[in-house]
Amino acid sequence: MDKILRGIQSIRGSISVPGDKSISHRAAMLGAIADGITEIEGFLMAEDCLSTIDCFRKMGVEIEITYENKGRIDGEEPGCEGFDSRPESAVVKIFGRGLYGLKKPDGPLCVGNSGTTIRLLSGILAGQDFETEITGDESIKKRPMGRVTWPLKLMGASIDGADGGSRAPLKIRGGRLKGIEYKLPIASAQVKSALLLAGLYAEGSTIIEEPEKSRDHTEIMMKAFGADICRESNKIRLTPVERLTARKIRVPGDISSAAFFLAAACILPDSEVIIENVGINPTRTGIIDALRLMGADIQILNERTINGEAVADIKAKSSGLKGIEVGGAIIPRIIDEIPILAVAAASARGTTVIRDAAELRVKESNRIAAMVEGLSGLGARIKETADGMEIQGTNRLKGGRVNSFGDHRIAMSLAIAALGAEGETIINDVDCVKISYPGFFDALAELNKFGD
């Protein structure tokens, strides 16, 4: 489906964004291998997280989904073909089967488009006493898996797959795992999390060293479920325990979803937006830090802690942004938000340089190339570099036809660019926003009536 948007003058109002995708994934996974019933409030009902639920249902885990004011929904089995429209969040009850209670599925597990699901679940499957095939859509089959499968093999798992196990589909047979000390070649929360999950089944401690601290939702949630895990500087140590214990989880709003509205408020004149109940884990707030360095007027309000995660309301106002250099230690904290940061840079004074972000080339799309093509099509002065991009701010973008490349973050970033452009913009293939934020365009309409 294409989306037609027209430039608008401003956005104003208060909204909530759906639950954090990273936290929703991890809560479902740990709940499935814990003892007892885990209840998750605010679970993100987007395609990626539903793929995680589907995989565990196929391994014998009973999972109930209750939508607000609509009761329990049965018989909805998400899979590779996509999902019908549904509310963005729900209460999910997971009847955990314990560390060793998963059952061999009848067929391959399909993760859809979810890189988080395939990588983290590989860590859990590495500890099972059965063989499992795990696959996904065409995008997943192109994404690098060797960074996960190689260290899992070092721990004792048997893994085969395309290109020697570096691409999906993967066949994983758990073995007698042993803890390892492993230094990550790049900061990756997904690789770190997969190894820590495998470490729950290993003999001895698993120690992971990061070059830079990546998002730490796995460590926070593992500790909440009773895992023996600690951090010293950039090293995380996990020692196996006999069991994990179910608990109640409340998922805050996803800062990666909030980022689109923060940027929109900053670049559009006479704009002010408050986004309520957003997770502000320090490993995720790189977008706030970067926008503030550009001169953004962003305030953090009503800070509190829920389930070990920092949560707050965020207010953003129209701001005169300026170009900056972005690279180094901030990149792991902003990697998913670089596309929307590029949109902000296109409206800033001066030049913005984004470097050390080559990881963007192996996301759902080549996000460097996709954003350069998309913003160039709207009149931005932007060029691709080996590990990022250079953007010279322009007075105003112009409408045009652009391509999302089936990537949810590209589609939403280009939608925000379209709001600040003159005339009409057509974005190809916006159905992909269902991967993380099904109601994105409704939220934009709530802040200002626009488009078709």
User: Could you tell me if residue 215 is inside a domain?
Assistant: yes
Same domain (yes/no): 8, 27: no
CA distances from 311 to 77, 127, 176, 314 (A): 32, 33, 39, 10
Torsion of CA 356, 340, 439, 268, to 10 degrees: 170
Domain boundary residue among 239, 274, 305?
Answer: 239
Q: How many CB atoms lie within 10 A of CB 375?
A: 25
Q: What's the pLDDT at 164?
A: 83
Q: Is 58 helix (H, G, I), strand (E, B) or coil?
A: coil
Reported pTM: 0.92
Full residue range of the structural domain in which residue 203 is found: 21-239
Number of domain units in the chain: 2
Same domain (yes/no): 73, 127: yes
H or E segment to which residue 237 belongs? strand 235-239
Our answer to whether residue 431 is catalytic in this structure is: no
User: Could you tell me if residue 437 is inside a domain?
Assistant: yes
Q: What's the pLDDT at 68?
A: 60
d(CA 105, CA 95): 17
Phi, psi of 94 (to 5 degrees): -115, 120
Same domain (yes/no): 434, 312: yes
User: Could you tell me if residue 394 is inside a domain?
Assistant: yes
Per-residue pLDDT of the chain (452 residues; tens, 9 = 90+): 899 999 987 999 999 999 999 999 999 999 999 999 999 999 999 999 999 999 999 999 999 999 865 545 444 444 333 334 457 889 999 999 999 999 999 999 999 999 999 999 999 999 999 999 999 999 999 999 999 999 999 999 999 998 888 999 999 998 799 999 999 999 999 999 999 999 999 999 999 999 999 999 999 999 999 999 999 989 999 999 999 999 999 999 999 999 999 999 999 999 999 999 999 999 999 999 999 999 999 999 999 999 999 999 999 999 999 999 999 999 999 999 999 999 999 999 999 999 999 999 999 999 999 999 999 999 999 999 999 999 999 878 999 999 999 999 999 999 999 999 999 999 999 999 999 999 999 999 889 754 33
Same domain (yes/no): 265, 212: no
User: Could you tell me if residue 245 is inside a domain?
Assistant: no
CATH number at 311 reads: 3.65.10.10
Same domain (yes/no): 97, 203: yes
Domain boundary residue among 239, 272, 287?
Answer: 239
Same domain (yes/no): 182, 274: no
Same domain (yes/no): 207, 76: yes
User: Could you tell me if residue 258 is inside a domain?
Assistant: yes
Same domain (yes/no): 8, 120: no
Same domain (yes/no): 326, 398: yes
Q: Is 54 helix (H, G, I), strand (E, B) or coil?
A: helix
Q: What's the 3-state SS for 129-191?
A: CCEEEEECCHHHHHCCCHHHHHHHHHHCCEEEEHHHHCEEEEEEECCCCECCEEECCCCCHHH
| End-to-end Cα spacing for the chain | 12
d(CA 96, CA 169): 26
Residues 6+ apart with CB under 8 A from 361: 367, 368, 369
Catalytic entry in 336, 407, 429, 452 = 336
Helix boundaries (H) for 255-326? 255-267, 286-293
Model confidence over 215-257: pLDDT tens digits?
A: 999 999 999 999 999 999 899 999 999 999 999 999 999 999 9
Same domain (yes/no): 167, 61: yes
User: Could you tell me if residue 325 is inside a domain?
Assistant: yes
Q: Tell me, what amino acid is at 428? A: N
User: Could you tell me if residue 355 is inside a domain?
Assistant: yes
User: Could you tell me if residue 246 is inside a domain?
Assistant: no
Same domain (yes/no): 102, 120: yes
Domain boundary residue among 217, 239, 261?
Answer: 239
Same domain (yes/no): 230, 154: yes
